[in-house]
Amino acid sequence: MSGYLRFLHSNRRWLLGGFALFLMSSFGQTFFVSLSAGDIRAEYGLSHGEFGSLFMLATLASALALTQIGSVVDRFGAAGVVLGVFAFLAAGAAAMALSSHVAALFVALFLLRLFGQGMMTHTSFTLMGRWFGRERGRATSVATLGLNTGEAILPLAVVALAALAGWRGTWWAAAVFLLVLVWPVSALMRSEREPDPVPEGGRELRARDWTRRQALRDPCFYLVAAAMAAPALIGNTVFFHQVYLVESRGWAPAAFAAAFTVYAVTTVVFNLVGGQLVDRFSAMRLVPVYLLPLGFGLVVLASVAGQWGAFAFMALYGVTNGLSLSLFGAVWPEVYGTAHLGSIRSVVVAVLVFASAAGPGMAGLFIDAGVPYSAQLAALGGYCLAVSAVMARAVPLLRARVLSQSVPSD
């Protein structure tokens, strides 16, 4: 514990900056946008499928844009990148508050998804991967606590604020909050950090640096991406249609919002645990097992009608999500190095953004078509279990390849 506290103290400015980026990403995350979904659909006369499709298209467009602008993290200083990302995300929040037409709503969703879910998390993950080596797992787990914090406090805060100021007032508040924090956060990022060297005789190896073109030609890239995309695909699907789930089960309106607290606490615990496990065993070794809790949680949510099913699912999803936050920041530099990490990760984040869009959009269309939601949840659970089985066979081969191609750290 004393060593962990020393790590936090000596790296506080970089860790706090990464934490702030993840916290601010909340304003573009599905769980936050979906809190206004009922009001938006009512105001614009959109069905579940229509709004889900609009959200999906905006998210897909943001994913394509991210592949083009994500490399700025490799080419420019962290402070300048943070200033730009904050400014555009605030513009997205203001655009949401001002929207008066479906086209304007699409633009607002595009900005929120690109610079919130996309660039905010991409920038923080890339900086933690580049700035830290031996302690990359712990650094990533601390930074991603920002998102956990947002998921824990913002749903209930938004419900209270919307009751006073309406859903548009809530988005105005988000825009102001971002503009107030942009300068302090960018100031934290003005000094770049050099990774700590491995002590002489240390066992740690550094993966050779792949370019993005080389990574995209590697079949292993797509296997790992399929495994790492599952939480984004599934979590966004469930969160986006949480109102429909609550209504179809006859639960109390605040039931799912309250379950977010359980999810957030569990995520925090296993995020910190995951950081320690990554630094001890490596990220790749955890990939085959981290989806199992989510798979079983989906089976519970699909088959249990009582409100306790929501809490059980959120607890199990929190286990997987907590582990995924540490894994997602560490597995890619383990496999492909750090020299082109921002460029490679921009594609990875685009894949996750695509998954987060496809899930809600397709689920909305299935709901409109009369497909039982419980069947959809069960199918997603099966996906988790199947991917885990595939990765159990693939990861040993991938680790052997990385070890054969890597070079000792300086």
Residue position matching structure tokens 């993966």: 207
For the chain, how big is the Rg over CA atoms in Å?
20
pLDDT, tens digit (0-9, with 9 covering 90-100), for 113-159 = 999 988 998 899 888 878 887 777 888 888 988 887 887 788 888 88
Angle between helices 37-44 and 48-69 (to 10 degrees): 110
pLDDT for the residue 202? 43
**Residues 321 and 231 sit within 8 Å (Cβ to Cβ):** yes
Distance of CA 23 to the CA centre of its chain: 11
* Band (195; pLDDT cuts 50, 70, 90): low
* Band (87; pLDDT cuts 50, 70, 90): very high
pLDDT, tens digit (0-9, with 9 covering 90-100), for 149-189 = 887 788 888 888 888 888 899 999 999 999 998 888 888 88
pLDDT for the residue 407? 55
* Band (408; pLDDT cuts 50, 70, 90): low
* Of 74-78, 100-104, 289-293, the least confident: 74-78
Q: Is 166 left (phi over 0), alpha (psi -120 to 50) or beta?
A: left
Task: Count Cβ atoms within 10 A of the Cβ of residue 225 and give its class: 0-12 exposed, 13-18 middle, 19 or more buried.
Answer: middle
pLDDT, tens digit (0-9, with 9 covering 90-100), for 266-304 = 988 898 888 888 888 888 889 999 999 999 999 999 988
pLDDT, tens digit (0-9, with 9 covering 90-100), for 308-362 = 888 999 999 999 988 988 888 788 888 887 777 888 888 887 787 778 777 887 8
pLDDT for the residue 405? 67
- Cα–Cα dist 309/286, whole Å: 26
pLDDT, tens digit (0-9, with 9 covering 90-100), for 376-399 = 999 999 999 999 999 999 888 887
Q: What is the mean pLDDT of residues 86-92?
A: 95
- Cα–Cα dist 26/17, whole Å: 15
User: Hey, what amino acid is at 77?
Assistant: G
pLDDT for the residue 137? 80
* Band (201; pLDDT cuts 50, 70, 90): very low
* Of 48-62, 195-209, 222-236, 381-395, the least confident: 195-209
- % of the chain at pLDDT higher than 70: 95
Short-list 374, 353, 331, CA closest to 224: 331
- Cα–Cα dist 92/46, whole Å: 21
CB neighbours of residue 197 within 10 Å: 12
